[in-house]
Amino acid sequence: MRLKIRAVRLRVQTATQVCGTDLKFNDGLIVVHAVNSFGKSTVMQSIIFGLGLEGMLSASHDVPLPHVMTDSIDLPDGTKETVQESYVTVEIENAKGEAATVSRIVKGTGNTHLMKLALAPLLTNESLKPEYEDYYVREGGAAVNQRGFHKWFADFLGWKLPQVARVDGANCPLYVECLFPLMLIEQKRGWSAIQARMPYHFRIREVAKRSFEFLLNLDVNDNALLRQQLREESHAIRTDWSIVVERIVSILNNVNGVPQGLDRNQPKTIDKDESVEILIARRGKWVPFKEAMNLDLAELRELEKSEIPRVEKVSQEAETALLAARTELAQVDFAANDLFNSVQQDDQQLLNIHDRLIALEEDQRRNGDLLKLKKLGSTTQIMSANGQCPTCHQGVADSLIPLSKQTPMTAEQNIDFIKAQLETFSAIKKTSSAALSAKKQRLDSLRIRSSELRSSIRALQKTLVSDGREPSEAAIERRLNLRHNVQQFRRASEAVNYELPMLRELGLRWTQWQEKLKSLPKGDLSISDRQKLNRLCGAVVTITLQPPVALVTIGNCLVTERITEAQ
């Protein structure tokens, strides 16, 4: 990862002559020396413009070069002429020793967004014939498309630009304009701080940090992107899991059943041979799925072996069954009403816990703000804490009863206390939610049983008032209900078995997601990153200037009539 500026050429065409300069740079430290107003900044800005990097200075598309390249030029004889055409050519070299020459129009008939590129050192070896190819810059796609100059530029340098997050939530490449403020610092705009001004107009989150991390080849950005991907993957897994569980719940509603151990909001691993445990509401109780299905199937087969009995033969049994059904219905309705009131109370209690958590979070934020102000040196105190009303400034007591002198908790102690309360109430909310869910399932079971008893009572009543020679309506309805139940059981079993592979796949993805999350470093920096930063700190402390050091003097090159070369 290296870029060397080998040479720069500036050309200005007036009505009578061509003005300009050629600067060639040797290896080592280069010092461009000249008195004021002799073109040092012009050379630096020309390098920035010649490589299409002016986006690092501002969002403007105006040419960031002085009037000598864009408007008028002062000649040595004291006259001034208008600039008709001008351009900048920069010769660069990468870490492999490959050279390229880039030329860009500053003013003239061409478009300033057009870059002419030759894969040859045309400035240091003028005997070569130029073979230019056209690229574009400062246009959409310049960083990613094949004819985008910055796409070629990054490939030429051997850079694989990472994807970074924008403030709008989208991703984009870490543009080369974000990296070069750390390499090319133009004194008019870049020396206001140790770090040059960064191009925040690209709306990249923490652009300075991302640029440092890339140039130092840190793992921070990769880990940040991986964390973002894991968050998105977690959301996708949870969403898909919730959808599948909802489908299973909907399927089981047809047989008055509920799945056990399947939390809509919490995926889990399901082994290959493991199945979903299902409970069926039966006479106010919960029985396993297979047991309920086998009981109905056995009863149906037993009934189908005999003919449907006449009313006169089952009247006594019908009266006994009707009395038992009415007695059980009264008990079920009483239990359901009592449980309904309990559910209502638990709902209100859960709502109160939710409100309490919101209040605690607000208290935590307020105490956090007070702690920040305290750390910044603020001495402001809340007046009510000093026995004074903050509105009317009259004296007020902090308590309705006299209290012994006590030391109030500090902001740090308040924050710790609130955190403990948040943990406690969060645990209570989780436990209460689970208990409430169980009560609601129990209430649903009682309501289902109540509906079954009412249907049975209606059938028994019709049986008792029917002609004794007619078939028992209760017996017919029982057979029909059993057949319907068996069919629904089979359909539910097939549907749940169809959904099981999806649950297993989501559970496997969830396990893999957890393993990936555990593999990430706990902090921002990995062990490798810390080692790199330690080496950098050591290198900065021990750095010394070593020869060769080249001195490049601009002199009057920019305004001479002849094309000269500064040595």
Max mean pLDDT range (16-30, 191-205, 211-225, 310-324): 16-30
Provide the token pair at 76: 């040595």
pLDDT of residue 310: 66
Q: Locate 539 and state its tokens.
A: 């290198």
Measured between alpha carbons, how far is residue 185 from residues 45, 194, 204, 544 in Å?
Answer: 9, 10, 20, 21
Residue with more model confidence, 206 or 85? 85
442 with 338, same domain: the answer is yes
CA 139 to mean position of chain CA atoms: 28
DSSP string spanning 158-174?
T--PPEEEBTTS-EEE-
Name which residue leads in pLDDT, 400 or 169: 169
HEC secondary structure over 23-59 = EECCCCEEEEECCCCCCHHHHHHHHHHHCCCHHHCCC
CA 430 to the chain's CA centroid: 26
CATH code, 342: 1.10.287
Nearest Cα neighbor of 489 from 287, 360, 296 is 296
Residue 350 lies in a domain: yes
Same-domain status, 338 and 446:
yes
Same domain, 415 and 561: no
Let me know if residue 293 belongs to a domain.
no
**Residues 549 and 424 reside in one and the same domain:** no
On whether residue 299 sits in a domain, the answer given is: no
Cβ distance 395 to 387 under 8 Å?
yes
Last residue of a domain, one of 448, 471, 494: 471
Among 452, 471, 490, give the residue marking a domain's end.
471
Same domain, 47 and 130: yes
What pLDDT score was predicted for residue 471?
67
Question: pLDDT, tens digit, for every residue of 456-501?
Answer: 787 777 766 665 566 666 677 777 878 888 888 888 888 888 888 8
313 and 439 housed in the same domain: yes
Considering the domain boundaries, does residue 488 fall inside one? no
| Same domain assignment for residues 327 and 463 | yes
> Tell me: the pLDDT tens digits for 500-547?
889 889 989 998 888 888 887 777 777 787 888 888 777 665 444 444
Does one domain contain both 155 and 19?
Answer: yes
Domain membership of residue 269 (yes or no) is no
Q: Element (H or E) spanning 323, and its range?
A: helix 311-375
Enclosing domain of residue 464: 309-375+411-471
In terms of domains, do 452 and 557 share one? no
**Of 455, 471, 487, which residue constitutes the final position of a domain?**
471
The tokens for 285 are: 């109780």
Let me know whether 415 and 559 are in one domain.
no
Reply yes or no: is the peptide bond before residue 121 cis, omega within 30 of 0. Answer: no
User: Does any domain span residue 303?
Assistant: no
Backbone angles phi, psi at 536, to 5 degrees: -65, -45
Percentage of the chain beyond pLDDT 70 is 83
pLDDT digits (tens, 9 = 90+) for 36-74: 778 888 898 999 999 999 999 888 888 989 899 999 998
Reduce the DSSP state of residue 266 to 3 states and report it.
Answer: strand
Give 197: exposed, middle or buried? Use CB within 10 Å, 0-12, 13-18, 19+. middle
Q: Is residue 148 part of a domain?
A: yes
- Count of structural domains within the chain: 2
Label residue 450 exposed, middle or buried (CB < 10 Å: 0-12, 13-18, 19+).
Answer: middle
**What's the pLDDT at 566?**
34
Assess if residue 336 is contained within a domain.
yes
